[in-house]
Every structure is written in C-alpha cells, then in structure tokens.
Amino acid sequence: MIHAVLICKTPFLELGGVVVEGPTVNTSGVARLSKFYTPLHQSAQTLIPKIFSLVCSRPASLCNFLDAPELEAFLGPKGDEDERWRIVYRSYATLYFVFVVDGAESELGILDLIQVFVESLDRAFENVCELDLVFQFDEVHHVLAELIQGGLVLETNVDEIGNSVQLASKLRKESFTAANPLSLGTGVGGAGSRGSNLKSPLGWLTGKITGGRAM
C-alpha cells in the first residue's frame, strides 16, 4: 500500500534572484503537501526532512527511486524485502512528488500514478502551477482523495478522477453559495477558499508576484 504522499519544493530554484537571508533558510525543501496513510513512528518524523533533502539533491538524470545508505535504518528490516519502504519520486519543474510505498505496489506503476496525480491536478486547477498548490492545499487534498483512499489506489483513470473532482467541487461551491448568498467568492471564513477559483488568472498572478518576493 501507499504509506505517504508528499510534495516538496526544491529549495534551490526558489532562491532565483533573491538573496538568501541568513542561516534560517531551510535547505531541506519546503513541504507543500504531506499526507500519511499509516501512523507515523517517531523515526518517520525525522525521515521526512531527510527524504526531502536527499530527493532535492539528486540531479534529474538519476533514477526515480530514492535508495540511500542514510535511509537504511528507516526503511524497515533488511531481510524483509517486501515490507521495506520504497521511496518513489518524480519532479515537475520546481516540485517533487514523493510517494512512500511498500512491496505491494509496483515501482513503475507508482511512477505512472504520480503522473496521473499531476494530470488530475492540472485538470482541477486548469494549468496547475505551484502557487495553486500553496494557496489551495485543501483542494489538493480533495484531488488526492479521488486518487487514493486510505493508502489504496481508488482510481487511475484521469477522466474519472476529473469528473469526481469536478462534481465534488461543484457541490461544495453550491453549498457555499447557499450558505452565503451575498458572497462574491471569497468566503467569510477560510472555508470559502475554493471560491478563490473565481479570481483565477489575476489572482494567482498577483499571488505569484507577492509570493515570489516573499520567498
């Protein structure tokens, strides 16, 4: 089964032309999404930053499976090849999509699944960019929930996933407008976030600029 899905941002590209500010800058990659399907042990808490830093330091030409001596201790008993965790990742522009799976999943299959996930995100956000994931992390979770449930793959067909995501998001919007008849999309509470789709092109453009500066 799938134990965790993580999305992290590579620390290097973010720095673009911006000056690095002191030693507090996180070099291990910034989490954009983390979802765990099995309870974490203490060791796994330290595993995540380690994975991020290792993944981020791998050049694109290397394989998509993370297997480093530093992780030996975390991945489970050595002899039990099937129960050991495997880390499959794929990078898209500035983002790394990392899946932690065990022997029940096909390694190459997971690579395809990551592709399916990204395509679904692309449909849901209409040309997904990183800031969509930053500002609408709940929406990302909803998309992921149409793909994987409880660590098992629910659906792999991009069209099916797209339909379900659309349907659910339409229902949420309707429910929101029913509750806030005067709202123009930005909710009173944070819960109205999905309404922010309305301000789309300009919205994420400004977000992008401010975001870029903020980094």
Partner 1 sequence: MWERTLQDLIRGLRANKKDESQFIAKAVDEIRKEIKGDDMELKAGAVLKLTYLDMLGYDMKWASFHVVEVMSSPRFHLKSVGYLAAVQSFDQETDVLMLTTNLLKKDLTSTPADISVTLNGLSHIVTPDLGRDLSSELMTMLTHSRAHIRKRAILALYKVMDTYPEALAPGVARLREKLDDPDPGVVASTVNVLCELARKRPEDYLILAPQLFHLLQTSSNNWMLIKIIKLFGSLSPHEPRLVKKLQPPITELISTTPAISLLYECVHTCIIGGMLQGSSGDSLARLCVSKLAAFIQDTDQNLKYIALLALVKIVPTHPHLVAEYQDTILASVNDHDMSIRMRALDLVSAMVTSHNIQSIVQQILSHLVADSSTTALPTAAQSLAQQANSPTISTPHISPTQSPAYRLVLSQRILHICSQSLYENITNFEWYLSVLVDLAHIANVDVGAQIRDQLVDVVGRVKGVRRYAVKLMYTLLCDDTILHNAREEGSCSEVLWAAAWICGEYCSELAEPQKLLPYLLQSQIAILHPEIIAVYIQTISKIFGSWAAEVAERWDDEDMVEVKSTVDLIINGIKVFTGNADVEVQERAANTLQLFNFIQADLNGYKPLPPNNPFAEASSSFDPVGSAEPRFPKSLYLIQPLHSAYELNPVALLAQASVPVPEGLDLDVWFVAPPPEPAAKPELKTPKSSKGKGKEVNGSKSKSKKKQKESDANGVVVLTPVVDEEPEDHEARERRLAERRERLRDDPYYIIDDRSASTSRQATHDDIDSIPVVHLDDMPSMSSIDDSHLPTLRAEAVPSHHVAYTIDRDGEMPAGAVSPQPTSTREGSHTSTRATTPALTGSSTPSYVSSFPQYDVPDADVRTSTPEPIKVTRTKKKTKKRTQDSSALVESTS
| Segment 66 to 95, residues that bind partner 1, using CB under 8 A | 66-70, 72, 81-82
The number of CA neighbours under 13 Å toward the Cβ of 179 is: 14
Per the listing, tokens 């480093």 go with 68
15 binds partner 1 (CB under 8 A): no
Cα–Cα separations (whole angstroms), residue 161 to 48, 143, 152, 153? 28, 8, 15, 12
**Which DSSP symbol is given to 71?**
G
Q: Which residues ranging from 164 to 203 are in contact with partner 1 (CB under 8 A)?
A: 164, 167-168, 171-176, 178-180, 186-194, 196
Of residues 98, 111, 105, the one with CA closest to residue 83? 105
Smallest distance, Å, CB 144 to partner 1?
Answer: 10
Smallest distance, Å, CB 102 to partner 1?
Answer: 9
End-to-end CA distance of the chain: 36
Smallest distance, Å, CB 160 to partner 1?
Answer: 7
Q: Which is nearer to partner 1, 68 or 122 (CB)?
A: 68
Candidate list 39, 79, 181, 201; residue touching partner 1; CB under 8 A: 39
Q: Which is nearer to partner 1, 57 or 122 (CB)?
A: 57
162 binds partner 1 (CB under 8 A): no
Q: Which residues ranging from 109 to 128 are in contact with partner 1 (CB under 8 A)?
A: 109, 111-112
The number of CA neighbours under 13 Å toward the Cβ of 166 is: 10
Cα–Cα separations (whole angstroms), residue 177 to 1, 2, 125, 185, 187? 38, 36, 20, 8, 9
129 binds partner 1 (CB under 8 A): no
Smallest distance, Å, CB 93 to partner 1?
Answer: 18
138 binds partner 1 (CB under 8 A): yes
